[in-house]
Structure 1
Amino acid sequence: MLHQVVTLQFKATNNQAEYETLIAGLNFALSMAVNRIQVFSDSLLVVNQVNQTFETKDEVLKKYLQVAKSLISLFEDFSLMHIPREENQVADRLAKEGLPDLHRTQVFERPSFECAEVSTEEPPPAGWTGSWIT
């Protein structure tokens, strides 16, 4: 399992941060030529907006959704499933204890829908495939 930290250097709501996390993870997977991916998120709103169960009314979230869908279209197989926060032990532990074996850090200076690139402190490790939990 690889851990990744995303640092937002701009003001963002919780839902915007959840989208930034999803977008960062999708970009990370694409950078390693992953074709099939299964994503788990404790953000019910993001999961349901991406899966078109919820309508996206907020203009900023519409921009995030557009970026996410654009990235999702690059995968051969993609699924996004909700995992309740209380069942998301990996993310809960990481939030409480931090990241002792950090492999990658990304710094976003502005929302991802405003820019094409983010700065990366380390290159992605080779051979990574699979799924992740946000």
Structure 2
Amino acid sequence: MYFDGALNRDGAGAGVLFISPKGEQLKYVLQLLFKATNSAAEYEALIHGLRIAVTLDIKHLLAYGDSKVVIQQVNKDWECTKEKMDAYCRETRKLEAKFYSLEFHHVPWDDNVAADVLSKLGSKWSIIPPGVFIEALNSPTVKMEEEPPTKPDLVPAIGQQVLTLDTDWRSPIIDFVKNNKSYPKGKEHEKLARHSNLGTSFTGFEFWDYCQESCIDVYYSSVAHPRCNGQVERANGLIL
């Protein structure tokens, strides 16, 4: 069994490919209709594949995936440090008990192309070719208990200090974009430049992975047509 997960701006998906000892193939596509990280998509593919194998009464199975994180975790070489990943690991353990033998092996991406193609079909909602099974998942396979939100103490205890926040740092940026308000050289000008000149901080992989892990939606805006006085015209921009 080969499995893979895919995550892009269109959505998330998973793919599973079964190859029997005689060379017969079964192909499955999963459309994940919920917010998922790349690791979650990989686990959804793995767990879905294991459940299919149990349904088909398969007792001996070799599972191959190109996600080193998932393979190391299910092989107990790495610990599951996040609650959701730990829930996926526990579900994998339950299914593992239903096989006489089950092995997990890490393979390079080049050896997992077929499952990768299936996962991308699910993530991009593409037309599914004939002979491929498809299923849509509206919620994650694993369930976790959510802790009730704690209420902050409104009255500080004796000896505690109350932190007073300054004016919203976005205010000068909003004034600059909406009202063309400029600031003279000085402290406010430096603040505006510091907050608006972040380079590639919000386009790198670390920021994107953090947003996916935290279920944060990211919307990008662009600027166009620089004017001669140094200002720019906002295009497709919306500051919340």
> Into which bin does the TM-score normalised by the smaller protein fall?
0.7 to 0.9
Runs of 5+ in structure 2 lacking a partner? 1-24, 145-240
When Rg is computed on C-alpha atoms for both structures, the one with the higher figure is 2
Equivalent in 105, 125, 140 of residue 111 of structure 1:
140
Aligned to 2:35: 11
Task: Percent identity, please.
Answer: 31
Shift of 1:43: 0.8
C-alpha root-mean-square deviation of aligned residues, in Å? 2.1
Aligned to 2:85: 61
Shift of 1:103: 3.3
Aligned to 2:165: none
Equivalent in 129, 132, 138 of residue 100 of structure 1:
129
Aligned to 1:125: none
TM-score between the two structures when normalised by the length of structure 1: 0.77
Contact 2:29/2:133 (CA < 8 Å) preserved in 1? Answer: yes
Q: Distance between the aligned counterparts of 1:86 and 1:104, measured in 2?
A: 23
Q: How many residues align?
A: 115
Aligned to 2:71: 47
Give CA-to-partner distance per residue, 1:98-121, whole Å, 9 cap, x none. 753333222211110139xxxxxx
Runs of 5+ in structure 1 lacking a partner? 116-134
Shift of 1:72: 1.1
Shift of 1:24: 0.4
Shift of 1:78: 0.2
Kindly provide the amino acid, as one letter, of the partner of residue 15 in structure 1: S
More helix by share: 1
Say whether 1:32 aligns with 2:22: no
Q: Secondary structure at the match of 2:29?
A: strand
TM-score between the two structures when normalised by the length of structure 2: 0.45
